[in-house]
Structure 1
Amino acid sequence: MTTHRIRVGIDVGGTFTDAVAVDATTLALLGQVKVPTSHHHEDGVAHGIVEALGRLLEQTGCAPDDVAFLAHGTTQATNALLEGDVATVGLLGIGNTPGAVFTRRLASLAKLELAPGKRLPLVYAHVADPDDTPAVERAVAEVVGRGAEVLVASEPFGVDLPDGERSVLESARPHGLPMAAAHEITSLYGLHKRTRTAVVNAAILPRMLATADLVDASITKAGVTAPLMVMRCDGGVMSLDEMRRRPLLTVLSGPAAGVAGALMQERISEGVFLETGGTSTDISVVRRGKVAVRHATILGKGSYLSALDVRTVGVGGGSMVRVGDGRVVGVGPRSAHIAGLPYACFASLEDLRDAEVATVRPMDGDPDDHVVIDAAGGRFALTMTCAANALGRVGEGDFARCDQEVARAALEPLARHLGVDVAAAATQVLDAGCAQVRKTVDAMIRDYRLDEDAVVLVGGGGGAAAVTPHLAALTGMEGRTARHAEVISPIGVALALVREQIERIIPGAGQEQILAVRAEAEQAVIAQGASPEGVEVEVTVDPQTSTVRAVATGATELRTQDRAHRADGDERLRAAAASLKADPSAVRVLAGTPAHTVYGTEVRRRFRGVRRPVRVVDADGVVRLHAPDARVETTTVAAAPEFLARLVAESTSYGDGGVRAPALRLLLGARIVDLSGVLDPQPLLALAAGELRPRAADEPVVAVLETRS
């Protein structure tokens, strides 16, 4: 049964703005609309967002005050950088010590290339003493006089001693310009990279502020009282106020929305997400139930922006077929959209009468080996989607589905040209396209050391069926197309959690410092509207770089998900056995909490001893945690501190690489608490104690430990 409370996700693309309404209790899709993105309206993209929202409410029969959550994702920041549509940045470098020579070199950031022939508009002035107010005012006046529309202050060691940056901006406040201190954008060391990240953030700040104000005012006028959230590039959402401070976090957020949808709707815990459009496929990774992120490259340079690790391959549903020497030699990167041609499989049988193969150059300079069909109804492109439909790879009701008879008729001329039957011709096409995608998928599985026994391929986007099903057949991996694949991005926006990441470089970090970083991340998401009771924090300590990282996530409301269907014991056992690739009779229950059941088996391999792979399955029958070789123990909250101390001591390894505590995860209430990012036993146990503290003494706790080699 659905309620009237809905979560709304709006994805603002370059051409269309897609919006969905999701039931806040069941998370079922209730409605979806598509409107043209309103780039040229006087209110900009805000107009399209409000139009999409209005049509969505009308379609679902909901009122504005039924909206429990509203978020949007936008390509605006990315487009601003790609198109060079940015503000002039006034950079105020600070320092009077010998190190000031490095600060003065920051003026070279004006050489950053935004687009071919267009550089970042930046003017620089130096401030020797941040407390010399007249000198600061002269420096500010200088950059403003040279056209600065936004200000950035940066000083060596500003992360540890931010008073100088704050003082300079305080003196600049009367000018009324948007401004930021470099230490506010990132707290990592590295003057040049930190300042570069802050400068790029500032360059898009005025435009993003204007859009944020328009969207906020428009949504309020429409009667929606839920706070407006914005999609981040790491798969979470942030408050509008946080976006006003750090708009750079929205750069590269387009692919992040799709993988957030795969994570929240499809609930994959170990897999590869492939979002396929008409021209390309964005490939990203979910490992142990979390999206894979890394510091992004922006304008060809490294940054301190943590963004989804997404790799793009020029193969999509509309990619054109290329032939030579009597065989298919490739697919893409040109698509039917670029060539201005319709897909052959969406024609009619009458349109395809008397069809013959021809080859063309889609654009000047392209090779002339791209296949088209000249027929009674005109000229058509042969695409990956045509081949997938001809082979029956596209499911009933799929966005890319067409009449299989028409698809086979479209492939018939190519089959004659190649001297094979239709099925063989279609297979050659899909093999060629998927071979390119497979290289990247294999590389990401290696890079992130995914558990190959548990990897699932999940396809999203309108072209998902053209790639993922055939790739799964080629690799032997489990694969499926996401439900409502064509709107997986706005679904991801609607279901995304509030997220914040705090990074600090702390050499020899002790448990108090680690706990402080954790607390800062937790408070940051609560300040943005996350319910304190549901916040989860993952802490990672990298001893090689002395980086302490805390990632906090939480929902803006406690989710009371529909309990109408829960998997019974047999369903959960079958899910675990399928994931373990074992006969159900060889799988046994190792432990459990009211929310999760832990299953395990034994794998004996010659020369490699015994492995004990484990799967944690939730009440819906979804595998939430994979461990290739783990120890599972059960205790209570009251006994846990002493019990865990002993377990950790027994499983800690010592060697040339130093002390390495086990990768520890706790099943606690409805949560899986991931403490695997901490290698030092004492902070590990301190973090565990913090998670246990608010729980009832007799509550069960299940520990899943993996010993590190």
Structure 2
Amino acid sequence: MRKQVRVGIDVGGTFTDVVVVDNSSREVISQLKVPTTHDVKEGVALGIINAINQALSELGILPEEVIFIAHSTTQATNALLEGDVARVGVLGTGNGLEGLKARIDTFIPAIELAPNRFLNTEHAFLLQKEISEKQIEKELDRFREAGVEVVVASEAFSVDDPENEELICRESRNSGFLATSGHEVSTLYGLRTRTRTAVINAAILPKMIHTAAMTDQCVKQAGITAPLMIMRSDGGVMSVEEVNRRPIMTMLSGPAAGIAGALMHEKVSDGIFIEVGGTSADISVIKDGKPQTKSARVGGHRTYLHTLDVRTLAIAGGSMIREAQGKIVDVGSRSAHIAGLKYACFQSPEIFEGATLVHLRPTEKDADDYIAIETSGGKRFSLTPTCAANLLEIIPSTAFAKGSREAAARAFKPLADKIGKTIEETALEVLEISCRKVADQIEELIKEYHLDRNMAELIGGGGGAASLVLFTGKIMNLPARLAKKAEVISTIGVALAMVRDTVERNIVDPGPEDILAIRKEAAEAVIKIGAVPESIEVQVEVDTRRNLVRATAFGTTELQKDQNTAKKITKDQCKAEASKSMQVDAEEVIFSAETSHLWVFSHEKIRKSFFGLFKTTQHIIRVIDQSGVIRFQRSNAKVYSTDVSRSLEVLEEVITGLTSFGDAGRSLPDVHILIGARIINLSGLADMEQALALASAELENFPGEEKIVLVASLM
């Protein structure tokens, strides 16, 4: 049988990483690093194709055996940070009194992208009754004289009727402009924010179209027939055609690749993912197998772009130590990379014989309390958290950050002598300062997202993960581990990412028909950008406070013929995994229910209060697949077994029995349906009718005798 592989490419500022993943086993079979090609005609596309050709030739893989290829890019983010943007003209429309407000809302003042770098726009406005090809052409002539490259069409309520926006875009393209519109970037009401989002989309459109076209051309020239996909800011991928329409979706997609790796490769259901490089650490939350998102801000202004909620800290494996008056005053924010220094722990120990401590400024604007170690030969090296972790033998032998303990020990001696401590005490202080910064941010996220500490774990990715993540787990008393192939987890995430899109609508009191219509629209959106219909799953959320309905659809570009290639383990082994996660003896864990691919285990925990006079029972739940991965967990929930034929009847009984009432009105329980290997999320819905309609749509293609399990969370 012909081998099928997936290729992931992570384009960085200096290097481009490539991984080749076996499509069946999902195991990495090759990884390599090549220089990123900025200064050639083809741009970064040349480096990408060089890397692909090298990887395939080394493995003897034919181009036609590549069934999926995707890359992440920092092009959109860099273009905004560097002010390398196109000049944009906004042509707004409106009518009557509403038109007066629309004229104001479609005028977008200069957006500061970086110090002294602004995104400026030209603005024109037509009343709806004035809209004609002749009038549009007149405004386009004025835009042309002002140097406009991309036109934004923006009209109030265009999400309901986009006809005028589409006319303006069509005429603009016929006149030689690139064009985009408000309804293309968001389906939410709010003309000002929608227009601003469209302006940012337009500003990066020419650069991204050029880059995507060059890369796509190179991939095709290599003989690869699989469509090229590009990483999105929400952790999914999109087609080149979609990038040409909405390049803004690739903005801030760098951290998204690592989180996709944590989800798809590590199968994290609940945890904190920490991707550690040499200069910074990105921290994000995964809850119920989903990364948490937020609205992106550009130049301090809100947009309708949803990105993963990633908190970036200026602390990492290569952060430099700062010392003054015989005390370590800080670690970071500057890194060894910025100062042009190599890590001491990756050198030969003997070169530090007779080395001395020196102070320096990594850049001209920095304080002079950063330290380095200078050898007797005049070479300088940096002491870093990676060096400290190697000295204390915290880093596993197989980790990317593993260096020489002896080199680290000798290099730390001048600093230890200066502050009057042993080398071990000095290294420990460096790690405590560094990891406390990470721990403080994690505590903030745990509080913000109401995470259960008993279910959370820390997962480290990136080349510097072993330097900080394991010790952070220790000081926080949380389980911590390194992802497999942690140093290329982002690239693996690109290779395994799913096609994804989100549809949002502002609807007051949505009925079941509204829920199903938006669900269908989201599914059709991902089919349009490359997903196979049979692979699609849709998650629907209802925010009654904001009158918002959001449907997120995801799927794959191919049907995996053998989806169960992971090594299976026994039910007793899964029970052992459940007991370990629950932190109880295996004898106290009960097998509660099952589907054809999932096992449900539970443990009853008795809580006593008021000196033992009152007792409450807590039902801890773990859902584990047959490869031993925890797919879903709850600290207190009820489990119900049934089949598809009785599913709606049982679901109605469960919701009725567990619905609570309070000052804010009725509150439905969070219910998840387990069927086969799938976990269908019915949480976040506003009423019974919505839940029943969604459940019916999700289960309609399954046979009536198929086993299902309902898990209802308790307050």
TM-score w.r.t. the length of structure 1 is 0.97
Residue 136 of structure 1 and its aligned partner are, at CA, apart by 2.0
- SS of match in other structure, 1:376: coil
- SS of match in other structure, 1:678: coil
* Number of the residue aligned with 1:685: 692
Q: 2: distance between equivalents of 1:492 and 1:411?
A: 36
Residue 660 of structure 1 and its aligned partner are, at CA, apart by 1.6
Residue-by-residue CA offset, 1:52-106 (whole Å, 9 max, x unaligned)? 1101101221010010100011000000111111111111011231232333334
Q: 1: distance between equivalents of 2:512 and 2:164?
A: 29
Do the aligned residues in 2 keep the contact of 1:110 with 1:119 (CA within 8 Å)?
A: no
* Number of the residue aligned with 2:612: none
Residue 368 of structure 1 and its aligned partner are, at CA, apart by 2.4
Q: What amino acid is the match of 2:88? A: V
Aligned residues: 707
Q: What amino acid is the match of 2:672? A: R
Q: What amino acid is the match of 1:236? A: G
Q: What amino acid is the match of 1:284? A: S
Q: 2: distance between equivalents of 1:110 and 1:242?
A: 27
* Number of the residue aligned with 2:583: 581
1:276 aligns with 2:276: yes
* Number of the residue aligned with 2:342: 342
- SS of match in other structure, 2:342: coil
* Number of the residue aligned with 2:62: 63
* Number of the residue aligned with 1:547: 548
Q: How does 1:162-311 map to 2 (within 5 A)?
A: 162-311=162-311
* Number of the residue aligned with 2:470: 469
Residue-by-residue CA offset, 1:93-152 (whole Å, 9 max, x unaligned)? 112312323333346524111222222131111111354332222112221222111111
Q: 2: distance between equivalents of 1:384 and 1:133?
A: 63
* Number of the residue aligned with 2:558: 557
* Number of the residue aligned with 1:668: 675
Residue 558 of structure 1 and its aligned partner are, at CA, apart by 2.1
Residue 168 of structure 1 and its aligned partner are, at CA, apart by 2.5
* More displaced 10-residue stretch of structure 1: 68-77 or 92-101: 92-101
1:111 aligns with 2:115: no
Q: What amino acid is the match of 1:79? A: N
1:625 aligns with 2:632: yes
Q: 2: distance between equivalents of 1:37 and 1:243?
A: 21
* Number of the residue aligned with 1:137: 137
* Number of the residue aligned with 1:700: 707
Do the aligned residues in 1 keep the contact of 2:596 with 2:675 (CA within 8 Å)?
A: no
Q: How does 1:2-41 map to 2 (within 5 A)?
A: 4-41=3-40
* Number of the residue aligned with 1:572: 574
* More displaced 10-residue stretch of structure 1: 214-223 or 101-110: 101-110
Residue 634 of structure 1 and its aligned partner are, at CA, apart by 0.3
Do the aligned residues in 2 keep the contact of 1:350 with 1:376 (CA within 8 Å)?
A: no
* More displaced 10-residue stretch of structure 1: 347-356 or 269-278: 347-356
Residue 493 of structure 1 and its aligned partner are, at CA, apart by 0.1
Do the aligned residues in 1 keep the contact of 2:518 with 2:551 (CA within 8 Å)?
A: yes
Residue-by-residue CA offset, 1:584-622 (whole Å, 9 max, x unaligned)? 111111101121111111122223722111110111101
Residue 562 of structure 1 and its aligned partner are, at CA, apart by 5.2
Q: What amino acid is the match of 2:119? A: L
Do the aligned residues in 2 keep the contact of 1:282 with 1:311 (CA within 8 Å)?
A: yes
Q: What amino acid is the match of 1:450? A: L
Q: What amino acid is the match of 2:368? A: D
Q: What amino acid is the match of 2:266? A: E
* More displaced 10-residue stretch of structure 1: 231-240 or 208-217: 208-217
Q: 1: distance between equivalents of 2:566 and 2:503?
A: 38
- SS of match in other structure, 2:274: strand
Q: 2: distance between equivalents of 1:110 and 1:655?
A: 44
Q: Percent identity?
A: 45
Do the aligned residues in 2 keep the contact of 1:154 with 1:181 (CA within 8 Å)?
A: yes
Q: 1: distance between equivalents of 2:274 and 2:422?
A: 29
1:483 aligns with 2:456: no
Residue-by-residue CA offset, 1:220-253 (whole Å, 9 max, x unaligned)? 1110011111100001111111111100000000
* More displaced 10-residue stretch of structure 1: 619-628 or 121-130: 121-130
Residue-by-residue CA offset, 1:167-187 (whole Å, 9 max, x unaligned)? 332333421322112011101
RMSD: 1.5
Q: 1: distance between equivalents of 2:218 and 2:660?
A: 57
Q: 2: distance between equivalents of 1:563 and 1:82?
A: 43
Residue-by-residue CA offset, 1:546-585 (whole Å, 9 max, x unaligned)? 1000111111122224536212122211111111121111
* More displaced 10-residue stretch of structure 1: 358-367 or 436-445: 358-367
Do the aligned residues in 1 keep the contact of 2:90 with 2:153 (CA within 8 Å)?
A: yes
Do the aligned residues in 2 keep the contact of 1:127 with 1:139 (CA within 8 Å)?
A: no
Q: 2: distance between equivalents of 1:515 and 1:689?
A: 10
* Number of the residue aligned with 1:647: 654
Q: Are residues 350 and 210 of structure 1, via their aligned partners in 2, closer, same or farther at CA, if it must alter by over 3 Å?
A: same
Residue 459 of structure 1 and its aligned partner are, at CA, apart by 0.8
Residue 418 of structure 1 and its aligned partner are, at CA, apart by 2.4
Do the aligned residues in 1 keep the contact of 2:76 with 2:251 (CA within 8 Å)?
A: yes
1:610 aligns with 2:617: yes
Residue 3 of structure 1 and its aligned partner are, at CA, apart by 6.4
Q: 2: distance between equivalents of 1:426 and 1:549?
A: 48
Residue 38 of structure 1 and its aligned partner are, at CA, apart by 1.1
Do the aligned residues in 2 keep the contact of 1:32 with 1:56 (CA within 8 Å)?
A: yes
Q: What amino acid is the match of 2:670? A: A
Q: What amino acid is the match of 1:424? A: E
Q: 2: distance between equivalents of 1:582 and 1:359?
A: 51
* Number of the residue aligned with 1:102: 101
Structure 2 gaps, min length 5? 610-614
Do the aligned residues in 2 keep the contact of 1:110 with 1:123 (CA within 8 Å)?
A: no
Do the aligned residues in 2 keep the contact of 1:125 with 1:140 (CA within 8 Å)?
A: no
Residue 484 of structure 1 and its aligned partner are, at CA, apart by 1.2
* More displaced 10-residue stretch of structure 1: 359-368 or 261-270: 359-368
* Number of the residue aligned with 1:659: 666
Do the aligned residues in 2 keep the contact of 1:109 with 1:120 (CA within 8 Å)?
A: no
Q: 1: distance between equivalents of 2:179 and 2:376?
A: 62
Do the aligned residues in 2 keep the contact of 1:604 with 1:610 (CA within 8 Å)?
A: yes
Q: What amino acid is the match of 2:685? A: V
Q: 2: distance between equivalents of 1:340 and 1:185?
A: 41
Residue-by-residue CA offset, 1:616-653 (whole Å, 9 max, x unaligned)? 01111011111111010000111112121111111112
Q: 1: distance between equivalents of 2:106 and 2:458?
A: 46
Q: 2: distance between equivalents of 1:313 and 1:118?
A: 24
Equivalent of 1:590 in 573, 592, 604: 592
- SS of match in other structure, 1:420: coil
Q: 2: distance between equivalents of 1:80 and 1:364?
A: 25
- SS of match in other structure, 1:638: helix
Do the aligned residues in 1 keep the contact of 2:596 with 2:707 (CA within 8 Å)?
A: no
Residue 678 of structure 1 and its aligned partner are, at CA, apart by 1.1
* More displaced 10-residue stretch of structure 1: 570-579 or 324-333: 324-333
Q: Are residues 436 and 225 of structure 1, via their aligned partners in 2, closer, same or farther at CA, if it must alter by over 3 Å?
A: same
Residue-by-residue CA offset, 1:154-209 (whole Å, 9 max, x unaligned)? 11222223222223323334213221120111011111111000110011111111
* Number of the residue aligned with 1:323: 323
Residue 346 of structure 1 and its aligned partner are, at CA, apart by 1.4
Do the aligned residues in 1 keep the contact of 2:566 with 2:627 (CA within 8 Å)?
A: no
- SS of match in other structure, 2:204: helix
Q: What amino acid is the match of 2:550? A: R
Q: 1: distance between equivalents of 2:641 and 2:351?
A: 67
* More displaced 10-residue stretch of structure 1: 97-106 or 490-499: 97-106
- SS of match in other structure, 2:703: coil
1:125 aligns with 2:124: yes
Q: What amino acid is the match of 1:58? A: S
